Amino acid sequence: MMTCNLRPIALGVLCASVSLPWAASTALAAGTIKIDDTKWISVGAGLRTSFNMVEDAAPSGNDYSKDFQLDNIRLYVNGQIHENIKFEFNTERQDNGTGDDDIRVLDALAKFEFSDLVNIWAGRFLPPSDRSNLDGPFYLNTWNFPLAQAYPSIFAGRDDGAAFWGQVNGGQLKYQLGAFQGTSGLPNTDDNLLYAGRLTYNFWDPEPGYYNASTYYGAKDILAFGLVYQTQEDSATNSLNGNTEDFTGWSIDGLMEKKLGNSGVISVEGTYYDYEGDPVLAGLDATGYFLLGAYLFPQKIGIGQFQPVVRYQNLDIDNGAETDNWELGVNYIIDGHNAKLSLLYSNTDVDPAVGSSNDFNALQLGLQLQI
């Protein structure tokens, strides 16, 4: 079974025998160079960094740890070489465990976009999955990726493959279907592919494009539901009995965001996950969910607006650990997803299958910048 520290430096990236993926959608703002009427290229960047304090996580074992963390540093490159052909190339840092960082390919894909209904993407990118994964860390409504998200990936939620997707009424209804590499090598001796699909319906304003966000800060009124299904034969080896397991995962997510008459914005979001034979969870079964509420005050204080946020999360692994997490915080929104501060308090309780439970508090201050 995969194992990890119960008191990670980056708070909220919490695990109980779980390795969690991180993801991000493409940049919404960047500098564009126009080559001719059909050719252009854009360049952007994103940074997330945080200061973290975790109870009893200092080397002494009974003091708060105090650590600065570089959560994300990304370079975004997008372009068009034909009116129907685009490309995307993004990078991300990865801690290699030696004290140095590696720069890895995050996204590298070709986009054949013929109409709203017919689009084909191929390369490395986000498979059809839950809203949080299609948001990525830069477009969530709180700082940390949900701990119950355990869809398999090769890096940061990505996989190598191809997807066929389209939308109706500018993104009111969206479908995404794809085939991806998934688990390669043992126990997948037949080299089976991972198949993934997502269906999204927006009752209020549409969300055009392949990606989405979990808040639009009042620019849209959103009432959306998404249904996800992923499967791959011989995807994992069960860590308890050594049997080869087929992976099946599904989830349903919902977002309601409404701009009120006083120009304040209320957000309510939730997702339920169900996994069988999950390779991220060492071939075990699990269920999980989160519920989130936020309110963006209409008044600007200084250069930004305050947004209190609360989230509860649960991940219950069969014959494994159960993790409960409460987060209470406030975001200071300066320029939407391009500039914000986040202050977050969290309490986490990990109840393992064997041994005593582990309960600890944490405090986190994060800064996000993007262009």
Which residues 6+ apart lie within 8 Å of 122 measured at CB? 109, 110, 112, 161, 162, 163
50 belongs to a structural domain: no
What 8-state DSSP symbol labels residue 133?
H
306 belongs to a structural domain: yes
Give Cα 14 to chain centroid, integer Å: 14
**Residue 66's pLDDT is what?**
97
| Interval 338-357 mean pLDDT | 93
Number of H helices, E strands in the chain: 1, 17
What 8-state DSSP symbol labels residue 207?
-
What 8-state DSSP symbol labels residue 145?
P
| Interval 119-138 mean pLDDT | 98
73 belongs to a structural domain: no
180 belongs to a structural domain: yes
By the 8 A CB rule, do 134 and 149 touch? Answer: no
Tell me the residue range of the domain where 125 lies.
31-45+78-323
What total number of domains does the chain contain?
1
pLDDT tens digits, residue range 229-266? 999 999 999 999 999 999 999 999 999 999 999 999 99
pLDDT tens digits, residue range 191-209? 999 999 999 999 999 999 9
**Inter-CA distances, 213 with 55, 121, 126, 131, Å:** 32, 20, 14, 7
pLDDT exceeds 70 at position 78: yes
pLDDT exceeds 70 at position 152: yes
191 belongs to a structural domain: yes
| CA within 13 Å, CB half, 299 | 2
User: Taking the model in full, what pTM does it have?
Assistant: 0.91
- Retrieve residue 191's tokens: 């080299």
Phi and psi at residue 133, in whole multiples of 5°?
-70, -35
334 belongs to a structural domain: no
List 289's β-bridge partners, or say none: 272, 314
By the 8 A CB rule, do 366 and 71 touch? Answer: yes
pLDDT exceeds 60 at position 47: yes
pLDDT exceeds 70 at position 28: no
114 belongs to a structural domain: yes
Of all residues in the chain, what percent carry a pLDDT higher than 70? 92
Average pLDDT, the chain: 92
Residue type for position 89: F
| Interval 43-70 mean pLDDT | 96
- Retrieve residue 232's tokens: 């791959």
Kindly indicate the confidence band of residue 179, based on its pLDDT and cuts at 50, 70 and 90: very high
- Retrieve residue 96's tokens: 């290699």
Sign of the torsion formed by the C-alpha atoms of 314, 305, 130 and 26: negative
**Inter-CA distances, 141 with 102, 241, 301, Å:** 28, 39, 20
Residue type for position 266: I
Kindly indicate the confidence band of residue 100, based on its pLDDT and cuts at 50, 70 and 90: confident
By the 8 A CB rule, do 245 and 235 touch? Answer: yes
User: CATH number of the domain that 238 lies in?
Assistant: 2.40.160.10
Phi and psi at residue 307, in whole multiples of 5°?
-135, 95
By the 8 A CB rule, do 348 and 339 touch? Answer: no
Phi and psi at residue 165, in whole multiples of 5°?
-145, 165
By the 8 A CB rule, do 144 and 10 touch? Answer: yes
Kindly indicate the confidence band of residue 25, based on its pLDDT and cuts at 50, 70 and 90: very low
By the 8 A CB rule, do 233 and 190 touch? Answer: yes
16 belongs to a structural domain: no
By the 8 A CB rule, do 347 and 359 touch? Answer: yes
